[in-house]
Amino acid sequence: MTGIWSAVLVLSITGAIFALVLYFVAQKFKVVEDPLIDEIAEVLPGANCGGCGKAGCRAMAEAFVKQGNMEGLKCPAGGDEVAKKVAALLGCTPEESEPQVAVVRCNGSCSNAKAKSNYDGLQDCAFANSLYSGESGCMFGCLGLGNCTRACQFDALTMDKETGLPIVDEEKCVACGACVKACPRGIIELRNKGMKNRRVYVACRNKEKGADARKSCTAACIGCGKCAKTCPFGAITVENNVAYIDYKVCKLCRKCVAECPTGAIHAVNFPPKPAPAPPPAAATAEPTATTPATETNNNQ
């Protein structure tokens, strides 16, 4: 019998000692975490897309709580809806921001930029970019191997088999910017969604001289500057032989679209133009232009 009692006694004493040690250690190394972090993390989309620039949604929630307000922090995937919820939890007013969408600035489709060589190596844009200019010979155009579609966590990008270019699903795109980072040629840009989802942009990044650019792609921007002269708002700049439309200044008047001789300027989500529009547009176009102005109404 004494054996049992001594065992009980020894275990009880050691148990009590360990309990004390554990208690003091727990007190000493206690991590106080704001319960607000958990609440905010709950509200965030939880996709861990990295669009905010943080490692994931939890890190973003911590950043919100640490800062105490929403200045400079934005969850692009959640949009205004999530921003309102986070603001309510933090007790501040949400920053109003224009919703954005990814825009593919290349029109080097299989028909516009005819393939002059075939590529059968690793199906990865970054690798192909390190090797050569691309099948059409354009050093700036889409390589069509789909790094952007693989980077997209929201299933918003798909490769169009016919054109060989990525298509952005405007409903699904949350403008997290993953595709922008994935594209080795910097073709994809985040632009404001614009009024009624309408946007006007230059679908080309080719910095070569006009004649050289046209050699690889019939729809290339040749840097002629007609659009910049036409624009009544000064939204267009031509630098390094390529035009760029500032979406913050653009008023969507579409005068540049009709003026572009190569059809490099795209206007999306506008209602179709009235019937008599195409003939004068085609007449003003340079004789070498093969893309009629009507085609520029295509959705991306």
Residue 279, CA distances (Å) to 120, 253, 294 in order:
42, 19, 10
The answer to whether the CB of 198 falls within 8 A of the CB of 267 is: yes
- The answer to whether 121 contacts another protein (rule: CB under 8 A) is yes
CB of 132 to another protein, least distance (A): 4
Q: Which residues, in sequence order, are bridge partners of residue 294? A: none
Q: How many residues bind another protein (CB under 8 A)?
A: 17
- Distance, CA of 271 to CA of 293 (rounded, Å): 14
Nearer to another protein, 68 or 121 (CB): 121
- The answer to whether 131 contacts another protein (rule: CB under 8 A) is yes
The answer to whether the CB of 77 falls within 8 A of the CB of 51 is: yes
- The answer to whether 179 contacts another protein (rule: CB under 8 A) is no
The answer to whether the CB of 260 falls within 8 A of the CB of 297 is: no
CB of 181 to another protein, least distance (A): 12
Per CB under 8 A, the list member of 47, 63, 95, 127 interacting with another protein is 127
- The piece of 27-35, 65-73, 128-136, 245-253 that touches another protein (CB under 8 A) is 128-136
- The piece of 16-24, 44-52, 112-120, 261-269 that touches another protein (CB under 8 A) is 112-120
- The piece of 8-16, 88-96, 131-139, 154-162 that touches another protein (CB under 8 A) is 131-139
Per-residue burial over 152-183, b = 16 or more CB atoms within 10 Å of its CB, e = otherwise: bbbebbebeeebbbbebebeebbbbbbbbebb
Sign of CA dihedral 298, 210, 190, 125: positive
Residues of this chain, 183-212, that bind another protein according to CB under 8 A: 208, 212
Backbone angles phi, psi at 219, to 5 degrees: -100, 20
Sign of CA dihedral 252, 253, 258, 260: negative
Residues of this chain, 132-151, that bind another protein according to CB under 8 A: 132-134, 137, 139
Nearer to another protein, 116 or 172 (CB): 116
CB of 230 to another protein, least distance (A): 29
| Binding residues vs another protein (CB under 8 A) | 116-117, 120-122, 124, 126-127, 130-134, 137, 139, 208, 212
